[in-house]
Amino acid sequence: MDDKTHILIVDDEQDICTLVDQYLSDEGYQVSVAHDGAQMRQVIARDPVDLVLLDIVLPNEDGLSIARALRVENPNIGIIMLTGRGDTIDRIVGLEMGADDYLAKPFHLRELLARVKSVVRRTENVPAEAAAASAGGESSRLRFAGWEFDLHTRELVSPENESVRLTSGEFDLLKVFVTHPNQVMSRDRLLDLTRGREAGPFDRTIDVQVGRLRRKLNDDPHQPQLVKTLRSGGYIFVAPVEVAADRSAARRRVL
């Protein structure tokens, strides 16, 4: 059975698809290509996909709408948005729709590879690390402010007993916060711990991710009670964190 990481390229520009397909295949990945949302869904239906490289501008259905639906249907899949517009708003909206990262066209293939490795590592290795910790006798389920967060299953459960979906980026960020409570975390430090410094020197995606995470935690950005912003240019997770016992109650999933 083929255990290669499966990457799906969704782009209507044939030249880009051919170039990226050949490059990633040479790097040892299993690669498939689709030119619109319908073809993408056909590929996913017949073969599990680990990561989608998704162009924003597509025929029939735009990439942002596809990203939002894809995140709901496949919560653990990695998504990297490709945009040729060079507009920060497009990138932020892409992250809002559930993408894990973005890359502006034209891009260097080595930078694409670095981002692919980063997202794949975050979606695959973090659960394995949490499972190893659990096997060593440490609980992977933590509690804060009525919330429960499982580092093994990647599940976040609200005080109302509702399961809340997290993208891999949101999971990474929350994991850093709950494992470093009451510690001042600069943006650079958060980038180090969540993205391995594959971001540029002026990358502001941490601020976007924090905003998204606050909304999912119902943490008022004007008067946050969990993740506070520091004037020095960082954040601090102020809620007490403790080990939680396993829960068996039925949960209603929130999209």
Question: Three-state DSSP class for 216?
Answer: helix
**What's the whole-model pTM score?**
0.59
- Determine the Cα–Cα distance for residues 97 and 70; give it in Å rounded to an integer: 9
Contact 173, 190 (CB under 8 A): yes
Q: How many residues comprise the chain?
A: 255
> DSSP letters of 110-172?
HHHHHHHHHHHHHHHHHHHHHHHHHHTT---EEEETTEEEETTTTEEE-TTSEEE---HHHHH
Q: Residue 131: pLDDT above 50? A: no
User: Which range is least confidently modeled, 15-29, 87-101, 122-136, 179-193?
Assistant: 122-136
Contact 62, 54 (CB under 8 A): no
- Determine the Cα–Cα distance for residues 102 and 90; give it in Å rounded to an integer: 10
Binned at pLDDT 50, 70 and 90, residue 154 comes out as confident
Residue 167's alpha-carbon distances to 29, 78, 80, 100, in angstroms, are 22, 8, 12, 7
CB atoms within 10 A of CB 226: 21
Q: Residue 1: pLDDT above 70? A: no
195-214 tens-digit pLDDT: 654 544 445 678 888 998 99
Residue-averaged pLDDT of the chain: 81
95-108 tens-digit pLDDT: 667 788 888 888 99
- Determine the Cα–Cα distance for residues 43 and 154; give it in Å rounded to an integer: 25
Domains annotated for the chain, with CATH where assigned, are: 6-125 (3.40.50.2300), 139-254 (1.10.10.10)
The strand pair at 155-157 and 162-164 is best described as antiparallel
Angle, vertex CA 69, rays to CA 68 and CA 70, nearest 5: 90
Q: Looking at residue 253, what is its pLDDT?
A: 40
Binned at pLDDT 50, 70 and 90, residue 32 comes out as very high
